[in-house]
Structure 1
Amino acid sequence: MTAQATGTDILDVAREQVLERGVPLTHEQVVAVLRTDDDRLEDLLALAHEVRMRYQGPDVEVEGIVSLKTGGCPEDCHFCSQSGQFTSPVRSVWLNIPQLVRAAEQTAATGASEFCIVAAVRGPDERLMAQMREGVAAIKAAVDIEVAASLGMLTQEQVDDLADMGVHRYNHNLEAGRSYFPQVVTTHSFDERLDTCRMVKESGMELCCGGLVGMGETIEQRAELAVQLAELEPHEVPLNFLNPRPGTPFGDLEPMGSSDALRTIAAFRLALPRTILRYAGGRELTLGDLGTRDGLLGGINAVIVGNYLTTLGRDPKEDLALLDELQMPIKALNETL
């Protein structure tokens, strides 16, 4: 039975279980949190913020991202305008090494400690791996910033190569819970994604693994994603909110409401008390300025600044000013090692 069914308040349960003992919420408990009424939202966010402060502290990790290879991806992720299978207006573009270095320098100038190189591919071929080797070396020679990567599904040899290059964190999202995944992607499986995530963890690189919400999943399936991420124990979870892209199968979905988005942030924090929880794509559309503030006071402790891969983000100066106002210091580079 749920906490509500037994007459026990789910926030009281979460306070004792997560805040006091550090034990993540179960699937059933996450569902109960996602079903809390709007008049409990302020209390829920305050509890999630307490959990964040106890287990993560006040610092916020800031990251910038750039697309090394944009568009023309063979996969059919239904939310993504970079798929070559859809009519979305994203053309295939490759960056050169000087452009990568310049983007890394611009990211470092915001105070960010991490720069993530992303490519729209099923997995990297030798051309992409060669460009990564050259690009990572050039970035490390030019600027003091950690380099992360997101290049799709990997072989063991590619995992080892990236670790040898000095890539310290690899992003590969689950995207959706196992039960809803076939409604989101048909060209590869949930288990193929898990295989890459497990190899990354075993390599010693940090694993960044999150997903998207607001793609038509049920509350139970949203909770399933949170719990399956908790089972994987990534170093970081980027939380994306669907920003419907024209020409994609999910292009006509309505964006998630702000209250549901904030409930989701709090629920993920209570399911992942010791994990970095990062604002990623879609927050500008779903939450706006006020909601962005509420999320930072409701469990979020990392942000991507600037633009995303195919959508515009907030001006980095706005995010940095908000962090300063909230007295949330940017995590120093040496604290991310």
Structure 2
Amino acid sequence: MNTTELPEVFERARQLALEKGEGLKEADLIEIMKLEERFIPEILKLAHEVRLRWCGEEVEVEGIISLKTGGCPEDCHFCSQSGRFESPVRSVNLDIAELIEAAKQTAKTGATEFCIVAAVKGPDERLMRQVEDAIAAIQAEVDINVAVSIGILTWEQVKRLKAAGAHRYNHNLETARSYFPKVVSTHSWESRRETLELIREAGLEVCSGGILGMGESIEQRAEFAVQLAEVEPEEVPMNFLDPRPGTPLENQELLSSADALRAIAAFRMAMPKTTLRFAGGRELTLGDDGAEQGLLGGMNAIIVGNYLTTLGRPMEKDLDMLGKIQLPIKALTHTI
């Protein structure tokens, strides 16, 4: 396609995101997410150039496992782990030995990150001690970075996780500030943002993303991208809603693959230097070919295996896909 045929937003994206490494603002992101379908291959190509320029060609691979699944007291409308909904997930606890084994299996795939997750609003003392013990045990036996995601934290809890050796903390903003009350009422968007500020202050890496396709508008997706950029996260997990039975969003229509691809490109343009990680829902929304398009259109990380409450693809298939499209896996790094 002749570049003279492209909308002007392409040139602004080249000048800011590609040449300077600066994120685009809401108006340009909205325009990208409203592009005609014939422009999608071109915007994905440009997004890929941006990620190669500022992040390199390697793909970061991560496995996740839940220390405590189900029974959460919050009412996040997208989540089957909430104890408030008639959803099939019920509380399960894993012991330390199981976590170590899961970390070993994750490391065998070439993954650089292993994330311990618990479905809670925030950790009590028992859970804090479990997580501290788990980090120590994993680091003693497995050469892999350990990330944690256990809800809203106090400053004291943040310092303890840092001292225990946590490498990164995940706490998703989930959606735009303006849309958050539509999907969560038991805590605020601001409380999530405050936890991220504590994490940053303590020197832990910040991981924060969310879910697209919960009924938000394109304008709110652009708002969300800019709000994430303001947090300056090292990593942004991008989930696409997989409607869970028994949750308030069980009948929500899936995001189209075209809208998902536009969003991937827009988020890369909003955060040129950030790790964008494919997470839950990509199989339903994008399928195999769509996942490949995303990884050649701005994404530079992927969760392999199953997610917290939904099935992903077998790890081997994702690793084969990376080989097929000739994207190298980032080498393992040791947590210090």
TM bucket, shorter chain:
over 0.9
Matching residue of 2:87:
88
1:133-184 deviation line (CA, Å, top 9, x unaligned): 2111111111111100000000001000000000000000000111001001
Aligned to 2:3: none
Which is further off, 224-233 or 319-328? 319-328
Task: Among all aligned residue pairs of Structure 1 and Structure 2, give the percentage whose two residues are the same amino acid.
Answer: 61
Distance 2:195 2:83 in 1: 22
Residue 116 in structure 1 maps to residue 115 in structure 2: yes
Residue 327 of structure 1 and its aligned partner are, at CA, apart by 1.9
Equivalent residue letter for 1:24:
G
Partner of 2:73: 74
- Corresponding residue of 2:244: 245
Give the superposition deviation at 1:132. 0.8
Q: Which amino acid aligns with 1:136?
A: I
Q: How far apart in 2 are the matches of 1:87 and 1:136? A: 33
1:279-317 Cα distance to aligned partner (Å, 9 max, x none): 010001100000000000000000000000000001111
5 Å matches for 1:232-311?
232-311=231-310
1:192 aligns with 2:228: no
Long gaps (5+) in structure 2: 1-5
* Structure 1 Cα separation of the partners of residues 321 and 115 of structure 2: 23
Q: Distance in 2 between matches of 1:96 and 1:264?
A: 38
CA distance in 2, matches of 1:89, 1:8: 47
- Cα-to-partner distance string for 1:232-286 (whole Å, 9 max, x where unaligned): 1011000000000011011100111101001010000000000000001000110
Q: 1:335: Cα distance to partner?
A: 8.4
CA contact (8 A) 1:55 1:273 kept: yes
Report the AA paired with residue 17 of structure 1. Answer: L
The offset of 1:118, in angstroms, is 0.2
- 1:334 deviates by 2.6
Give the alignment's TM-score, normalised by structure 2: 0.97
Equivalents in 2 of 1:169, 1:17: separation in Å?
28
1:170 is paired with a residue whose SS is: strand
Which residue identity does 1:81 align to in structure 2? Answer: S
Residue 177 (1) aligns with residue 179 (2): no
Question: In structure 2, what is the Cα distance between the partners aligned to 1:214 and 1:335?
Answer: 36
Measure, in 1, the Cα distance between the counterparts of 2:134 and 2:20: 44
Equivalent AA in structure 2 for residue 189 of structure 1 = S
Pairing 1:1-337 to 2, within 5 Å after superposition: 9-334=8-333
Residues of 2 paired with 1:197 and 1:310: CA distance?
24
Q: Distance in 2 between matches of 1:25 and 1:75?
A: 34
Distance 2:332 2:153 in 1: 27
Contact 2:179 2:216 in 1 (8 A): yes
* TM-score of the aligned structures, taking structure 1 as reference length: 0.96
Which consecutive unaligned segments of at least 5 residues does structure 1 have?
1-6
Residue type at the aligned position of 2:16: Q
Deviation at 1:8, TM superposition (A): 5.7
Instruction: Tell me, yes or no, if the aligned pair for 1:113 and 1:336 is still in contact at 8 Å.
Output: no
Q: Deviations over 1:5-64 (max 9, x none)?
A: xx9621122112211122211011100000000000000100000000000010011100
1:333, distance to aligned residue in structure 2 (A): 2.0
Matched length: 331
- The CA deviation string for residues 175-195 of structure 1, in whole angstroms up to 9 with x for no partner, is 011100100110000110001
Following the alignment from structure 2 to structure 1, what is the Cα–Cα distance between the partners of residues 334 and 323? 19
Alignment partners' CA distance in 1, 2:127 and 2:304: 25
Determine if contact 2:239/2:281 at 8 Å carries over to the other structure: yes
In 1, distance between residues paired with 2:129 and 2:157?
11
8 Å CA contact 1:65, 1:116 repeated in 2? yes
> Who is 1:3 aligned against?
none
Instruction: Using the TM superposition, give the Cα deviation of residue 329 of structure 1 relative to its aligned residue in structure 2, in angstroms.
Output: 1.1
Three-state SS of the structure 2 residue aligned to 1:147 is strand
Over the aligned positions, Cα root-mean-square deviation in angstroms equals 1.2
